[in-house]
Chain A
């Protein structure tokens, strides 16, 4: 149980898909102009990631190595289509404001990277927790980005007015350059947090063997 929890936590900071492995960046900045979009995208990606990881992990011994990529692609594309259609049906406004970024989950490097590097080699339960951790790691970054951007760029949070009426919204934060800027600052903050975690973990390792790090092949390639 402790091991599974370690896998889960791994995705949150130490191997955060956005800040550390730096994959799947496209959607993270494009949709985070409002908090609602950020949450929607986070849930959508977590769904596709967890489902694909579990399915591929369950079939990992049956998939021949030489044609694994096309098989992964088809599995991921199938879940992306399911998610896309669900969103269109139940959250039409959200789906419209996210536009092309929803179908683009299919080539989101996080999904492909985790499936290739992790769940094609690990048992189902581990993959489930890895998917959840990575998905949540992705979602909290989206939330962090969108809270700053919506608050400063529009003066609202989830559509409710937060800032006093004298506050002049800084449109810059909603525009693309603002996305890059906020992302860059959050990334700097997260990296220094990670450095501190790793430093303290090295101290503990002298006393007991750490359980929480992935093997070296757990890191995905950048595509």
Chain B
């Protein structure tokens, strides 16, 4: 149990996927413009990441590994995730239209979101078992949601702030992110 808590805290705060590992930055910079949008995107990512981990773990350990096909990992994972996102989209559209309208627009974007693929590769690299993989997936995607929320909040204040003209727009967002990341460095000693 303590192992699971450690995995959770490490993936959620200490190795925050955006602020410490730079994964998923494209959507972070592109989408985190208002709080509602970033919550929608974050929840959609959480949902897909957990689903993807639940599928890729058995695929790797039950199909690829026994047959010595580990080198196909990249190809198989990306195809499985792309197919899964499509299926989820069809299912939501038909059976849960409310949820589909809330996060359906984000789903196509998610297929090429680096965060999801990175999580599935990491689970294999770190040698997690199935339960650990799921906990890891939840923690990483909540970390993604947290970083999105933080930037979206700051961004709303930035609208009324005087910013030097050469730093306008994106350079300033990265500067802000840098300062948020400094704050996250403080979590480094949380787990031994």
Contacts and interface: CB of A to CB of B under 8 A. Distances in A.
Of the candidates B118, B166, B178, the one having the most CB atoms from chain A within 10 angstroms of its own CB is: B178
B171 A176 contact: no
A80 interface: yes
A151 to B, nearest CB: 18
A32 to B, nearest CB: 10
A55 interface: no
A81 B75 contact: yes
Of the candidates A22, A69, A176, the one having the most CB atoms from chain B within 10 angstroms of its own CB is: A176
A175 B185 contact: yes
A103 B73 contact: yes
Contact of B29 (A25, A30, A78): A25
Contacts of A108: 114
A64 interface: no
B178 A223 contact: no
Interface string B37-78: 000000000000000000000000000000000011111001
A80 B78 CA distance: 11
A29 B181 contact: no
Interface residues of B, number: 43
Contact of A26 (B20, B24, B82, B174): B24
A191 B25 contact: no
Given A26-B26, A73-B78, A77-B79, A100 B171 contact: no
Contacts of A27: 22
Interface in A26-53: 26-30
Nearest to B183: A177
Interface string A80-111: 11001100000000000001100110111100
A199 to B, nearest CB: 15
A28 B20 CA distance: 13
Contact of B30 (A103, A178, A185, A222): A222
A26 B25 contact: yes
A192 interface: yes
A180 B177 contact: yes
Contact of B22 (A80, A81, A179): A179
Contact of B171 (A73, A103, A187): A187
B125 interface: yes
Contacts of A187: 170-171, 174
Contact of B74 (A26, A99, A103): A103
A29 B122 contact: no
A100 B122 contact: yes
A24 interface: yes
A187 B74 CA distance: 31
Contact of A112 (B30, B72, B112, B174): B112
B121 A103 contact: yes
29 contacts: A26-B26, A73-B79, A77-B75, A77-B79, A80-B74, A81-B72, A81-B75, A99-B125, A100-B23, A100-B121, A104-B117, A109-B112, A176-B19, A176-B22, A176-B185, A179-B178, A180-B175, A180-B177, A181-B174, A184-B174, A184-B178, A185-B171, A188-B167, A191-B166, A191-B171, A192-B166, A222-B29, A223-B26, A223-B27
Across chains A and B, which 6 residue pairs bring their CB atoms closest together, nearest first? A184-B174, A180-B178, A177-B181, A25-B25, A188-B171, A30-B22
Interface of A: 22-30, 69-70, 73-74, 77-78, 80-81, 84-85, 99-100, 103-104, 106-109, 112, 175-181, 183-185, 187-188, 191-192, 222-223
Interface of B: 19-27, 29-30, 71-75, 78-79, 82, 109, 111-114, 117-118, 121-122, 125, 166-167, 170-175, 177-179, 181-182, 185
